[in-house]
Amino acid sequence: MADAQFITDSRTSAVSTNKVLRSTYMLLSMTLLFSAGMAALAMAMDAPYMGFMPLLVAFGLLFAISKFRNSGWGIVLVFAFTGILGFALGPVLNYYMASQAGTQTVVTAAGLTGMIFLSLSGYALLSKKDFSFMGGFLMAGMWVVIGSMLLMFVGSMFGWQISGMHLAISAAIVMLMSGFILYDTGRIINGGETNYIMATVGLYLNIYNLFTALLHLTGAFGGDD
């Protein structure tokens, strides 16, 4: 009886995990398309760069998404969140499109982002490994990056010239987001994340930050910065 109960519980857990995984990737696909559409709209409107305002709004939406993650409003808020970030990306894309390398920079960054995400996510799905051991390292790395960005911001106010720091931070973000893709995908597979809305937000942010960092790097090596 105990063995039968164990098998039943294992099958129920597997079905639940697969359901979360399918729902996550379906919602992630839709939000990425919606975000890309909002970026294209901002580019067509030639919207100006809006600084930190969209990030502040998106940060507030994160709290709202967490609160309504178990209701239909959570999905609405996820689309609002990804739409705002997509629209904010439009002016940045216009800047790179108008540069010397132009379309090649954006296409290269997008291609690298897709390749990294699909390969790492695919590896996590096929191997079914538990990457929870990376959590502490990734969070420590994130705080180092945030601290470096604050230092760079303060330094710019005092006219400090910190050569290569932008590129170093972008390279660190690429490594961190690659790690987070493995970590977050592993959590879904191994039952660490059971809410597909929160799982979608996590993976979306990984992809978004990975793309913007790669955009900066490819633009710099292409001679745009």
Band of pLDDT at residue 59, cut at 50, 70 and 90: confident
pLDDT the model gives residue 61: 92
pLDDT the model gives residue 6: 42
Torsion of CA 103, 105, 111, 113, to 10 degrees: -130
Read off the amino acid at residue 221.
F
pLDDT at 109 over 80: yes
How many other CB atoms sit within 10 Å of the CB of residue 82? 27
For the chain, the first-to-last Cα distance in angstroms comes to 67
Band of pLDDT at residue 5, cut at 50, 70 and 90: very low
Residues in contact with 217: Cβ distance below 8 Å, sequence separation at least 6, in sequence order: 109, 167, 170, 171, 174
pLDDT at 225 over 60: no
Q: In whole numbers, what is the pLDDT of the chain averaged over residues?
A: 86
pTM of the model: 0.88
pLDDT the model gives residue 108: 92
56: left (phi over 0), alpha (psi -120 to 50) or beta: alpha
pLDDT the model gives residue 224: 52
Identify the weakest region by mean pLDDT among 9-13, 59-63, 98-102, 167-171. 9-13
